[in-house]
Amino acid sequence: MRLPADWPLTVTAALLTVFGVAMVYSAGQTDVPTFVVGLWRTQLLWVIVGLVFGYGVSRLSVRLVDAVTVPIYVVSLVVLAALLVVGQGAGTAASTKSWLAIGGVRLGQPSELAKIAVVLMLARVLSASRAAPSSLRELVPSALVVGVPWLLIMAQPDLGTGIVFVGIYFAMLFWAGASWPLLVMAASPALSLILAFSTGIWGGWFLLLLAMLAWVRPPRWEGVGLVVANLVMGVLAPLLWGRLDPYQQRRILVFLDPSADPRASGYHVIQSQVAIGSGGFFGKGFTLGSQKRLAFLPEQETDFIFPVVAEELGFLGVLVALALFTFLLHRTIRVAGRATSPFASLVAFGLTAAWFTHIAVNIGMTVGVLPVTGIPLPFFSYGGSFMLMSWLSVGLLVSISEEGRGRAGGLVV
Amino acid sequence: MNFHPNEVQRRARIAMLVIQGVVLVLVLAFFRAQIVQHARFALAAEDNRLRQIPLPAARAVIYDRRGEIIAENVPGYSISVLARSERVIRELMERIGTLSPVTPEQVGSAIRRYRTDPSRPTVLFTDAPPALVAMLEERRVAFPELIVQSAPKRFYPDGPVVSALVGYTGEVNDRELADSTFVDYKPGQLIGKDGIERQYESQLRGREGTRFIEVDARGRIVRPVARTDQLPSSPEPLRTNIDLDLQRFVASIFGDSLIGGVVVMEPTTGAVLALHSAPTFDPNRFTGGIPKSYWELLQSDPRRPLYNKAIKGTYPPGSIWKLATAIIAMEQGLVDIDDRMPVACRGGYQFGTRFFGCWDPKGHGNPTLAQAIEHSCDTYFYQLGLKIGLQRLITGGLALGSRTRSGIDLPAESRPLFPTDPARAYYDKRFGPQGWTNAVTLNLSIGQGENSQTVVSMARFYTALATDGMAARPEVVRRSPERERLFSLEPRQMRALQTALTSVVGTGTAAASRIQGITVAGKTGTAQNAQSREQYHAWFVGYAPAEAPQLVVAVMLEFGGHGSRAARIATRIMEHYLKGAVVAMPEMAGE
């Protein structure tokens, strides 16, 4: 029997998983033992669960997946909504309601599986029309597909997963063929909000936006709506923000992102960089990282697991990990390029985007190029639902790859 | 929906470029942190995990002249913690407080130490009682962050007997920490506060050692580090001139009832054999923080135990200063030892409209200078003072060191009070141009008036009388002796003065204090003072044996009455030293 598998993809994912479980084991090797010491066994269990389900999914035809997309999506929405009432906090997400528990047994974090549901539903909606969306009005259905679960997740609140949804959405719009100006216009209110901290920068950005609108000439009301939305975000929001007391501002920030407490996150970043930097080229040796051993690294088995890699295996280990990730992503883009249907292609690219957002934001945060956001690293961070989601993704990608096998896509890879 | 293969290929290429770009940024960021800035972060990692625990050093032992211990160190314990915040310290003290009483003052000083130097382990208890140490060690699991270590503590075997001399040690305070003299001191460390401990601080202080330990993120001690400890070291013992046996005897004479000061010196070397101030305090109780009750007791005692009456207190010298008047006059050639004054003593001297009484209302007839010294005749000295004149009296007094510190090697010696030169300007400034008459001369000539001396300064003056006019600088710790000429008299005159001083104890004012077999020379003083009209300060300064002086003794009894009382104490000290004790000094190693 020939196992249907995209071997380069599967093997890379497997290598990353072995690497990851080893790092979870190492994260537990501290001088003052904590509960982390035994987590690698649990993680291994979840890997097996992930492999089983991933294999199962890989045997399904893409058409069947297409057929069950709507029920899966609806169930996801219902579970996410229910979480706001019955959800529990635990682990790194202690202050949020991201956990589903029945009878006191925590089953997992449904938001991880919701990522896949959203990718599937988006692929379905975007592949339904013949042409790529060309105006803001045409973005409305797809925006709703992402927006509803996004709001439910932001209400938990879970900024990290929220960011991943945004990454998935824009990547899939791009893959569906949406034009750059449309993507920029869709993102413009959010960009205005971010750039509003400096009047000068925001002013420049606003002029650029006006110039672009003059060039693209979108439908009149869309153009007016965009200008108004950007003005509100860029001018009113900072004014309102400035009227708040510092403690209120902090509360909103902490609400948006529980890990955003300035002192705590500052401490995290500093300790993370010390661990990374002290690793040097060859590292301190597997399980021997002093910062990790002495628990100076926060969340070293989940969000800050990559500094353990950097501290113990050095720059060399970092290069190996990044190379594996890069190869994996190239391989999945190749799968997307060779897919037999727009739906399958979009699913493959959406899953790629989900992984990429996780990898870039997580590693970027540990090394200090991005702000601290609670977001895990695929195949490395301890977490059952996340490992399951990753291997379900691998299964889906293998299935899509299998159907596209032998098809001359004429792709670069 | 455009899925033309060319379009897909184009997008795939863009997507890969984006991924490669982001990965490149990450690689560069890691390159920067791990290769370029590796050294800095490696250091930060080291700092993160290593903590330096200071190992307290013992202070140098202080010996007396025969090698008996004046100050030593005994084992003690200090308890400290590597705290990240004041809150940690408060919580810890609260938890310890549930096991054993912790005073708010202890919490306060722990917080103060933390604020002064948060990076150092904060000392919670400088001298922890053994019971507390045992209790905390039993509950080590509950207090993993505590650093319990041995800290040598100061012990003075003779306690109160040596307090005026040795002073005491205590924790360095904020004012001292701000002082540039003590720039390398850290909060929680010990420092000499008074006496020898203060004067010779730099020689007594040990060098603190360092132990390196590895801690985790919560400051819990994980293990000692392989890096070798720097062991603390204590300096060479300090050898003093003190005769501990004599010191004990002096203290025993004073007991609890007498108030005053004593200085015993060798007349030629200046070696201080004993120095005492009564009442005393127990310097051992200052170790590890003075109990509040004891501090308040000392502060509220009207006899001021903490006030050193041998070197800090200044008192009108009274008749013991008459020798200064005599010397000034003899140096000027105004009088010789057998000269008499124009007016005989009939219990006083009429000066203008005022009558200046002699201490003995029966009068002394018409004595010679020698007899006037022997019987301390005020009438004689009033006239002698007038003969010298105010200006010359003051110039002479200043030359004899009446306004000069003795130079004893103990901290905070007071400077004696005495008029400055020129005399007229001094008195005009003090009383106003019309506010004074030549009557001040009469007062000065008998050691009253604007004249207030320390016990040690009078002892120094009498070392010149006991020898040949050269005064020896008092030396508690052996230094090279330093002598200064105060006056020059012909040997004949010198001998005559010394004979007069001998007859003071033989047949004069201190005749009751004679000792069998030893000739004592000296002078009594019964000084009026501003504090009390009835109670006089009793003085005696003298030396023995008169023919070959081995020691000068200065005794002052605050409100002690007549000088003969002081004389009795002084002669007992002389007797004990000359008859009882071994005088020879054994050779010390290295000398």
User: Which three-class secondary structure string do you get for A286-340?
Assistant: CCCCHHHHCCCCCCCCCCCCHHHHHHHHHHHHHHHHHHHHHHHHHHHHHHHHHCC
The answer to whether B48 contacts A274, with C-beta atoms less than 8 Å apart, is yes
* B34 → closest Cβ in A271, A315, A325: A315
Answer yes or no: are the C-beta atoms of B432 and B368 closer than 8 Å. no
Give the best residue of B16, B32, B34, B213 to mutate against chain A (max A CB count within 10 A): B34
Mean predicted confidence (pLDDT) in B221-246: 82
**Chain A residues within 8 A of B34 when measuring between CB atoms:** 276-277, 279-281, 310, 314-315, 318
Question: Residue written as tokens 């942190």?
Answer: B33
Summarised one tens digit per residue, pLDDT across range A262-280 is 455 567 778 888 899 999 9
Residue B22: closest C-alpha in chain A: A360
Of all residues in chain A, the one with the smallest CA distance to B18 is A356
**Model pLDDT, residue B219:** 64
Q: When comparing pLDDT for B372 and B221, which is higher?
A: B372
Least confident piece of the model among A94-103, B61-70, B76-85, B279-288: A94-103
**A335: closest chain B residue by CA:** B12
Q: What is the pLDDT, as a whole number, of residue B582?
A: 44
Per-residue pLDDT averaged across B351-355, rounded?
A: 90
pLDDT of residue B173: 86
Residues within 8 A of B (CB atoms), A 290-349 only: 290-291, 294-296, 310, 314-315, 318-319, 322, 325-326, 329-330, 333-334, 336-337, 342, 345, 349
The mean pLDDT of A243-267, rounded to a whole number, is 64
Closest residue on chain A to B215 (Cα):
A294
* Residues A395-405 pLDDT 10s: 999 999 988 87
pLDDT-wise least confident of A54-58, A244-248, B422-426: A244-248
Residue A364 touches chain B, beta carbons under 8 Å: yes
Range ranked top by mean pLDDT from A30-34, B344-348, B352-356, B459-463: B459-463
pLDDT of residue A105: 60
Q: Residue A117, CB half-sphere, CA atoms under 13 Å: how many?
A: 21
HSE, CB side, 13 Å, CA atoms: give it for residue B495.
Answer: 4
Q: How far is B30 from chain A (nearest CA, A)?
A: 7
Q: Does A280 touch chain B (CB under 8 A)?
A: yes
Which CATH superfamily groups domain B50-99+110-239?
A: Penicillin-binding protein 2a (Domain 2) (3.90.1310.10)
Interface mutation target, options B14, B20, B23, B30, chain A, most CBs of A under 10 Å: B30
Give kind and range of the element (H or E) at residue B22.
helix B5-31
pLDDT band at B586 (very low <50, low <70, confident <90, very high): very low
Q: For B37, which residue in chain A has the nearest alpha carbon?
A: A277
- Residue B154 Cα to chain centre, angstroms: 16
Hey, where are the domains in chain B? 50-99+110-239, 244-580
Q: Are B34 and A295 in contact (CB < 8 Å)?
A: no
pLDDT for position A72: 94
A277–B40: do the CB atoms touch at under 8 Å? yes
Contact A410 B5 (CB under 8 A): yes
CA distance B213 to chain A (A): 12
pLDDT attached to residue A236: 79
Q: Residue B445 class from Cβ within 10 Å (0-12 exposed, 13-18 middle, 19+ buried)? A: buried
Reduced to 3 states, what is the DSSP secondary structure of residue B349?
Answer: strand
Stronger pLDDT, A348 or A2, i.e. the higher one: A348
Q: Which carries the bigger pLDDT value, residue B586 or residue B522?
A: B522
Beta-carbon contacts of residue B298 (< 8 Å; ≥ 6 apart):
B281, B305, B306
pLDDT at residue number B136: 87
CB-nearest to A274 from B16, B23, B41 is: B41
How would residue A124 be classed by pLDDT, with cut points 50, 70 and 90?
very high
CA distance to partner chain B, nearest, from residue A384 (Å):
26
Pick from A118-132, A223-237, B46-60 the range whose average pLDDT is largest. A118-132
pLDDT of residue B190: 87
Pairing of strands B62-63, B238-239: parallel
Q: Alpha-carbon torsion B450, B455, B457, B463, what sign? A: positive
pLDDT digits (tens, 9 = 90+) for B354-398: 999 999 899 999 999 999 999 999 999 999 999 999 999 999 999
Smallest CA–CA distance, residue B190 to chain A, in Å, is 33
The answer to whether A311 and A295 have CB atoms below 8 angstroms apart is no
- Mean pLDDT of the B565-580 span: 91
**Mutation site for B-interface testing, chosen from A274, A282, A288 by largest number of B Cβ within 10 Å:** A274
For chain B, say whether A127 makes contact (Cβ under 8 Å): yes
Supply the pLDDT for residue B585: 41
Residue in A124, A139, A276 to test binding to B, most B beta-carbons within 10 Å: A276
B400-414: average pLDDT: 94
Least confident of A101-115, B500-514, B527-541: A101-115
Report domain extents, chain A: 7-403
Residues of chain B in contact with residue A132, where contact means CB-CB under 8 angstroms, are 1-2
Average pLDDT over residues A5-11: 89
Structure tokens at B210: 């360092």
What residues in A contact B12, CB-CB < 8 Å?
333-334, 336-337, 411-413
pLDDT of residue B453: 95
Which member of B8, B35, B48 has the closest CB to residue A337?
B8
pLDDT band at B38 (very low <50, low <70, confident <90, very high): very high
Amino acid (1-letter code) at residue B94: E
- Pick among B7, B26, B28, B82 to test the A interface (most A CBs inside 10 A): B26
pLDDT recorded at residue A3: 61
- The predicted pLDDT at position A411 comes to 37
pLDDT at A266: 63
- CB-nearest partner of B217 from A175, A296, A367: A296
Min Cα separation A168/chain B (Å): 13
Tell me the pLDDT band of A407, cut-offs 50, 70 and 90: low
Partners of B218 on chain A (C-beta within 8 Å) are: 295
User: Is 70 exceeded by the pLDDT of residue B443?
Assistant: yes
β-bridge pairing B354-357 and B209-215: unpaired
Does any CB of chain B come closer than 8 Å to the CB of residue A264? no
Q: Closest-CA residue in chain B for A132?
A: B1
| B104 pLDDT above the threshold of 70 | yes
At B247-306, the pLDDT tens digits run 999 999 988 889 999 999 999 999 999 999 989 999 998 887 788 888 899 999 999 999
CB contact under 8 A, B44 and A278: yes
B583 has a pLDDT exceeding 50: no
Rounded Cα distance, B169 and B204, in Å: 11
Give the per-residue pLDDT at B339. 93
Cα–Cα distance for residue pair A38/A40, rounded to 1 Å: 6
A-B C-beta contacts closer than 8 Å: 154
- CA dist B149 and B274 (Å) reads 37
pLDDT for residue A213 is more than 60: yes
The label of the residue with tokens 């920067």 reads B32
pLDDT of residue A255: 61
Q: Which helix (H) or strand (E) holds B147?
A: strand B146-150
A175 contacts in B (CB within 8 Å)? 11, 15
Q: Phi then psi for A44, rounded to 5 degrees?
A: -60, -40
Convert the pLDDT of each residue in B125-138 to its tens digit.
888 888 888 888 88
pLDDT band at B554 (very low <50, low <70, confident <90, very high): very high
Q: Is the model's pLDDT at A408 over the cut of 90?
A: no
Per-residue model confidence (pLDDT) at position B413? 95
Query: Is the ipTM value over 0.90, yes or no?
Result: yes
At residue B537's C-alpha, the angle toward residues B531 and B538, to 5°, is 170
Q: What is the CATH number of domain B244-580?
A: 3.40.710.10
pLDDT at A241: 79
Burial (Cβ within 10 Å: 0-12, 13-18, ≥19) of residue A85: exposed
What pLDDT is attached to residue A299?
82
